[in-house]
Structures are given as C-alpha cells and as structure tokens.
Amino acid sequence: MGNRHSQIKKSPYEILDLSPISTKREIKDRYKTLILEVHPDVQKVHSSQASKEAVEIMEAYRSIMKSPPRFEFYNEELFRKDLRKYAEDFFERVSDYCGIPSAPKFGDPDFERFYQVFSNFRTQKTFETEEEKSEFCRNVRRIARVVRSLDKRANVESLSIEVYQPSPKAKEKKIKTYPFSCSHCDKGFHSRNQVINHFRSKKHFEKVSLVSETPKEYVENQIQEIAEEDFSEPVCEPCVDQIPENAERHCAEEQETPKKPTGRQEPVPFRTCAECKIVFGGRAELLMHLKTAHKNPENRI
C-alpha cells in the first residue's frame, strides 16, 4: 500500500488496481476488499499512514463512480468478449452519470425502446462546454450502434426460426363418433336407450325450452322419432362373380353356430332343437336349422 503515496500522482483506477473497463460490481467489490485492509476501525491500528490510505481509497472510489465511462476502451472487440456484461454496465453508468434513473436497460424485453433512446441519445446534464457535451452524446450513440450490430435480438435475419414439426411417430388424436346425438346439448350417445333417457332429462328440457314454446311436446316428438327410426345398415349383395367358393359352407356354419342372447328372448324350450339339443338365439334361427338339417321340421320343435 506504500506505493500509493509516491510522488507520482496515480489515477483512481490505479489506486484501486482496476482496469478502466471494470464493471460497477467489480469496482464495489475491490473497494470493499481494500478498505477492510487499511481502515483503522477494522484493523484496530490507529496510525496516520493507515488513515491516509483509507481516505485515498475512498476518494478514488467516489471519483470513479461519479465519472463517466472511458469511451476509448469500449470497442467492438470488447463487446464481442461478453456483450451482455459490458453493454449493461456501460449504459447503466451513462444513465447514472447523466441522472436518468428511468432510462431503459440493455436486458429489458423491449430492446427496441432501449436502442431508440441510446441511438438518438441526448442529455440535459450540464458540461463545461457545448462541444464537450456534443462529443459525449456522439460517443454514446456510436457505442449504441456497435452494440446493436452485435445484438442477435435486433438482427432478426440472423435468428434461426424453428418451425414445429410433429414427430411421425406421434399418435393421431382419434375423433369419437357416436351413432346417436343431441344437437341441443352437443352430446353423443352409444345406444338408442341412452339418447331417449337424455331426452327425458331435466337439462335437455331446459335447453329445449330456449328454442321451443312447447318444450314438452317437442321432447315427446323427439322420443317418438328416435324410437321409430331404423338405424340398421343396408346389406350390400355381392355379385355372383365375387362370391368365394366356400361361401355356402361358411354361411351354413354361421347358421349352426348359436349366437349370444341379446335383449329380450324367448324361453329356452321354444328355441331348442329336440333332436340336436342345440339352443338357438331365437325361434327363426331354430326354424332355419330344422329346414336345412331335418326333413320334418314340425316334428322336431
């Protein structure tokens, strides 16, 4: 620390052993480190030499924080090393020096406003001469243009816009289809009974009341229409040339194979072959079996 009191006057940066491009954070950290080394209250050594060194460090720190950044050290090469670090620090120090606390920051999302302010920089701060003031503003605008040329946010053409492309292995979303639906409630149903029960519900009645003056009759007509409507799909009869050779045998096997009972059925004795002991799904299937398998179908029932 004795070198600081040599006859050659040192600059504030030399006293704090800092570079002219040091950031505000680096300056503050360096100041705290040095002041703790020489401050009499911290070291508990009260001497004139320690007091002078502490005063010298504090004056150097205040001088740096009050002075503008050194423009000659801020060039394109420096910003290429770490654009965000040096750009944020430079423009923040310019704002502090000119007394503009509301000035936009380099890291703000609205970067266009930031460049609009500093690319056309003007200040109300008083300088010794107008020429010095103009030179200061020109340097700020020059550095703003340099930073903008390196900022990828401002250079839209250099940004690679990624277009989302779904993976070929991604499963396509299946759209459910229902044989029955209600246009008033925008719902689908799997069976006739489900849609009829829905028509009788209170929610459906409230929906119908909004579009019909006689909702009760309207609902009854809906139920009657859905009950009488035939939803069976038409069977396409193939051409003779398209019928395979084993079609007759296949049809005979289907007729002999008993089907699972669905809905209301006749009692078992009325759909059972007395000779074969086969239970059929209905009386019509039993009669078909008797006509094809037995000569006298009436005697086999």
Of residues 181 and 72, more confidently modeled: 72
pLDDT at position 293 is 76
Which tens digits make up the pLDDT trace of 188-232? 888 888 888 888 888 888 777 766 778 888 888 888 887 776 555
CATH number of 12-66: 1.10.287.110
Burial class (CB in 10 A: 0-12, 13-18, 19+), 238: exposed
Q: Which of 20, 104, 6 is nearest to 67 (CA)?
A: 20
SS3 content of the chain, % helix, strand, coil (to 5): 55, 5, 40
Which tens digits make up the pLDDT trace of 104-144? 888 888 888 899 889 899 888 889 999 999 999 999 999 99
Q: How far, in Å, CA of 52 to CA of 166, rounded?
A: 70
Which tens digits make up the pLDDT trace of 48-82? 777 788 888 899 999 998 888 888 999 899 999 99
What contacts 24+ positions apart, CB below 8 Å, involve 174-179? Answer: 179/231
Where exactly are the structural domains of the chain? Answer: 12-66, 71-154, 180-229
pTM greater than 0.85 (yes/no): no
Q: How far, in Å, CA of 146 to CA of 79, rounded?
A: 8
Checking if the pLDDT of 159 tops 80, the result is: no
Name the band, by pLDDT with cuts 50, 70 and 90, for residue 4. Answer: very low
Cβ atoms 192, 180 nearer than 8 A: yes
